[in-house]
Amino acid sequence: MSLLGKHNLLGLSLAGLLAPSAGADHAPGELATEEVRVWGERGRGSEHQTTGPSHTIGPEDIRGINITTTEDLVKFEPSLVVRRRFIGDANGTLGIRGSNMFQTARSMVFADGVPLHYLLESRWSGSPRWTLVSASEIAQVELLYGPFSAEYSGNAMGGVINIETAIPESRRIRIDGSVFSQGFDAYGFDDSLNGYKGFASYGDRFGDLSVYLSYNHLDNEAQPQSYYYGGGTNNPTPQPVSGAIRGLDSEGNERLFFGDTGVINTTTDNLKLKLGYDWTHWSTLLNVAYEDRLSRTDDANSYVTDTNGDLVWGGDLVQNGAAFSMPASRLNVSAMERDTLSTGWRLQGDLTEDVSLETSLSHFTILRDESRASAVNPAHPEASPAGQVSDYGDTGWRTAEVKLRAENWLTEGLSLVTGARTEAYELNLNVYDSDDYRAGEKTEATSRSGGETRIDAFYAQAAWQFHPRWDSTLGLRYEDWRSDNGYFSNDQPDTPALDLTPVPDNSRQRVSPKFSLGFTPNNDWQLRYSLARAYRFPIVEELFSQYQAYNAVSEANPELKPEDGVHHNLMLERHLTNGLMRLNLFQENVKDVIESQTELLPGGGSVRTFVPIDEVETWGAEWIADLQGLWHPQLDWRFNLTYTRSEVTDNEPNPDLEGNTFPRMPRWRGNLLASYHLSADWQVNANIQYASDSFGSLDNSDTEKGVYGAQDGYIFIGLKTRYQLDDHWGFSLGLDNVTDERAYVAHPWPGRTVYASFSYDWH
């Protein structure tokens, strides 16, 4: 199938997700074969099945999910977690298998071959740029588990998500929208929060030229994400107050919580242009996406009042004999504005009947990424326009790749893929004191840091079907990594300007072998063992990003080594007449693990450091069952359950950590999705998400659950029904977290959320 080949399983957009397009000659939610053209990479599931475990998500898999943003499509997949704390969250980090949700540089996400993963920063700042592709334009998603393919770098230690989008072969106009609302209460906050999403697209084909334009707008109010408790004070005459809420922190210490960040207002606009052109055996695609994001936290809540009943916004306080400090900067207000531009170009064609060539270029640049924060809350008696401004300048990346594929290379049944890829990353962060934060005035620089990294890679991988029942794959990837132009501020008081300290350049070369052996005793069973070595090189933030802001300090480590992992997977798969069942046993041993730890300080501040861990071992079992018509012809089931045990097995600098469970790695994860087809046009769905609790710190001291800062287990139940009125209109209603369970992933997960959606297609 060519790059732009026809695909009879793909739906175009949320019409397939929220309300399927009905047709006279195809199943509900599917688009007629001659009307859809796939823009992403060629369907490569069959190729990747010879390297390691993979899974393809089509329209039937995701129609029963309440979907507003792209990351919703994968949140029910095995051994995977997306830490999206609210709809529109810019920090929707991704974790797969033995890589937790804050090891963001271990998972890769592509849309039509364009990188969405953010290999500049980690933890909450390292989330994939999900909003550069709208949920309503997605046709299919492919997941690859582990770094078993030589086509991908060690950033695939967790896995790879390949998103494919689609465009109609004829004129098609699409409009859809959703409204959603949640009620939320925790500590001193209790309110209803609302949002909406709107999408419009136009696709058409003029001879060999294809055009696709889309606009996506998201506006949402989110629950407070941080709750602040007081620190100690030595003031002999603290101010008497009331209203602070007594509670426990994640380590079980009794605290007085004095306030929260208030509602987060987020708006995101996404504009997309795709131009494709076909001639003879060649196809090319230009993909341009622009994102404009604004996030405001300008209504912080103080729970504390003085003896006159007036709100208190800072100071040394005492309540019922318990003295505590309330830092004035903790309840400040802030706003973040971000404009980014992503451009991708791809060319693919056949050189001969058995040989094809593919080349791609991508460029991601931050046009503006600025955060503005006040020094204190505007209601504070000492409030002024003074504040702080943080600015990312000259930040982004460039990639280029050329890839050659050959079938029946040298002999029948032997295929080869070989190629070269280069990636260059640059990050620069400047923090300023501001005389007027509202205007974004940059009065005086207080810290600067940044640097660059680059990886040049060459790879080759051969797959050989050497027997009707046996196949083998052997791959090799060579990578040349280097960091340069690193710097951070280390100001000297006796000099007038901000002093910068250069960081020495560094370079490393690594070779990563890959191997897989498969046995298919018959058409129903498959057994496969996969083995890979992978190196994950440090990213710019881990090496260079050092700064001090009002409520956060970050300390980088330019001496970090690359993570060195050996990964195993044993898969047993059974194909049934109505679906499949699969068992994966996996093990990962990773040395020189780069773990970012954040210490929460009394009063709400934090210190972030990048700590190398000598070795972490992870092993687990993954059970997957996708069954159609089980117990009833109109009832479909998808189920997965994963057991994972991840431990620090060696750590010479601090042996006390040995034997501890690695942070944010729950022992159990599972998902259940059930779909019942009342008719060809009406479907009802139910789903359950489950995770056991985990730790947030390496020392495993955070054992308290159900409190801010905890890593809670949860059971979230979701419902959805959708109805296709006619060939154009579709409607759906949904509910997430039916029981309104309150759980924390340090920050709180959303409460019970109601959805109402519509779609209209003209074609």
The 3-class secondary structure across 173-201, one letter per residue, is: EEEEEEEEEEEEEECCEEEEEEEEEEEEE
The 3-class secondary structure across 276-311, one letter per residue, is: EEEECCEEEEEEEEEEEEEEEECCCEECCECCCCCE
Report which secondary-structure segment, H or E, holds 544: helix 540-544
Q: What is the pLDDT of residues 599-640, one digit of tens each?
A: 555 555 555 577 789 999 999 999 999 999 888 899 999 999
Backbone angles phi, psi at 403, to 5 degrees: -140, 135
Give the per-residue pLDDT at 9.
28
- Residue in the structure block whose two tokens are 């996030």: 295
**Nearest residue to 611 via CA among 643, 657, 667:** 657
**Nearest residue to 449 via CA among 234, 608, 256:** 608
Give the per-residue pLDDT at 168.
79
Give the per-residue pLDDT at 600.
53
Contacts of 678 (CB under 8 A, 6+ apart): 634, 684
Report which secondary-structure segment, H or E, holds 16: helix 14-17
Instruction: Supply the mean pLDDT for the chain.
Output: 89
Give the per-residue pLDDT at 83.
95
Domain ranges, ordered by start, for the chain: 14-226+261-298+333-762
Q: What angle do CA 743, 749, 755 make, to 5 degrees?
A: 125
Number of neighbours of residue 493 by Cβ within 10 angstroms: 5
Number of neighbours of residue 170 by Cβ within 10 angstroms: 12
Q: What is the pLDDT of residues 112-141, one digit of tens each?
A: 999 999 999 988 889 999 999 999 899 899
Quick check: 67 and 48 in contact, CB under 8 A? no
Residue 156 three-state SS = helix
Architecture of domain 14-226+261-298+333-762: Beta Barrel (2.40)
**Nearest residue to 669 via CA among 710, 716, 627, 702:** 716
Give the per-residue pLDDT at 614.
93
Residue 657 carries which DSSP code?
A: G
> Which residues of the chain have a pLDDT value below 70?
1-49, 546-556, 597-608
Residue 357 three-state SS = strand
Looking at residue 86, its amino acid is F
* Residue 751 CB-half CA count within 13 A: 18
Give the per-residue pLDDT at 25.
33
* pTM (two decimals): 0.91
**Nearest residue to 187 via CA among 127, 290, 260:** 260
The separation between CA 47 and the C-alpha centre of its own chain, rounded to angstroms, equals 25
Quick check: 746 and 731 in contact, CB under 8 A? no
Pairing between β-strand 239-240 and β-strand 315-319 as defined by DSSP bridges: parallel
Q: What angle do CA 82, 86, 88 make, to 5 degrees?
A: 90
Task: Report the distance separating Cα 416 and Cα 408, nearest Å.
Answer: 8
Residue 528 three-state SS = strand
Pairing between β-strand 209-222 and β-strand 264-279 as defined by DSSP bridges: antiparallel
Give the per-residue pLDDT at 60.
78
